[in-house]
Amino acid sequence: MEFQVGLSDEGQRLDAWLATQFGPDASRTAVQRWIKTGDLQGPGGPLRNNRRVRSGERYRLQVPAPSLSILHPVDLTLDVIYEDADLAIVRKPAGIATHPGPGDPKTSLVNGLLHRWPVLQDGDDLRPGIVHRLDRDTEGLLLVALNERTRRDLSALFEKRQVHKQYLAWLLGAPPAEQGLVRASIGRHPIHRTRMVIDANGRAALTGFRVETTITSARGRKFARVRLDLHTGRTHQIRVHMNHLRAPVVGDVLYSRPGLELRGFGLLLFACRLAFEHPRTGKAMEFELPAPPRFQEFEEAAPGL
C-alpha cells in the first residue's frame, strides 16, 4: 500500500498522519508497531513515530496479514434470520467490522460466527463463512456460507451478479431525479487510502435508486429517503455514488463534513433485502427486514434539523 503526504498534512507526526489514512480500520498502536518493525518504508532511512511528514513524501506499507490468533469464538448473541445446513442469514449490527482488517485486533462479526457455528473453525481461512461484507457502520442482512462448497457456490452467484441486494438510506439532499441509475467507476483515493473516489480508471460500479419521500426542514435543508439496488459490490459504493450526486448518506462522516452534525443517528444506511437462488436446492430465497428504529427517529426529527 502506498501513501502520499498532501499539502494540508505537512508537519504532522508520522504515526498520527498514517493512522488517519486508515481511519477506523487500523489503530494508532498498530501503525506504531508497523513503523517499529520496519513494515513502513519511506524517505530518510529508519523511520520514527515522531517524524514530521512533508508534502509530497511517499510511504510504502507492507501490511502484515491478520494473525489467526484473533480468530477465536466470541458470543455476540447473533440475530439469526435463517439457517440450514449450508447457509445462514444474520443481521449484522452497526459498529462492528464484518471481518478482521490489517492490524485490527478488535472483535469482528467473524468471531461471533465462529461461536455460533464451530464448524467454521476448521482450516486457516481468515474470513470464515464470509462471501460478501457490510461496512463497519452499516447494519443489515448478511449471507454466511457454512461449508466450503456453499462458499464457492455463493461466491460464484455474487460474481455473476445473481444476488439481489437492496438498501434503505436517508440522504442529506436529494438525487436529481425520482429514480435512476448511477454509472460511475470507483477507485481508491490516491492519498487518503480509507476513502474511495469516482475514477474513470477504477472498477465499474452501478447503483439504482428510487426516492420514497423527501422532507424539507425549517432551516431549508432537504432530506430524502431512498431505496437503493446494488448491482455491483464495490467498497463504499452507495456512499460514494450518493456523495457524487451531492446527496451523501446521513451520518457519513467519511464522505460528508455535514455528516458530523448528524452522526448521533449513526450511518443511516441499512441492508434491508437479499434475494438469491439457493445453491444446493435451487429454491428462490428472499429476506427483507423493516428499517431499525433510528430511521423513524430521524424522520421525526428531520423537520427541525
Q: Which residues are catalytic?
A: 135
The set of cell numbers assigned to 211 is: 426516492
Question: Which residue type does 141 have?
Answer: L
φ/ψ (deg, to 5) at 180? 170, -170
Q: Which amino acid is at 151?
A: R
Backbone region of residue 236 per phi and psi (left: phi > 0; alpha: psi in -120 to 50; beta: other values):
left
Distance between CA atoms of 12 and 57, rounded to whole angstroms?
Answer: 12
**Cα separations (Å) of 48 from 13, 14, 25, 36?**
9, 7, 21, 7
Judged by DSSP in three states, 125 sits in coil
Question: SS3 of 176, please?
Answer: coil
The residue type found at 126 is L
Instruction: Determine the Cα–Cα distance for residues 254 and 269; give it in Å rounded to an integer.
Output: 14
Closest by CA to 106, choosing from 61, 145, 136, is 136
Place of cell 436517508: 170
Q: What angle do CA 201, 203, 206 make, to 5 degrees?
A: 120
How many Å apart are CA 136 and CA 97, to the nearest integer? 4
Question: How is 80-116 classified by DSSP, letter by letter?
Answer: EEEE-SSEEEEEEPTTS-SS--TT--S--HHHHHHHH
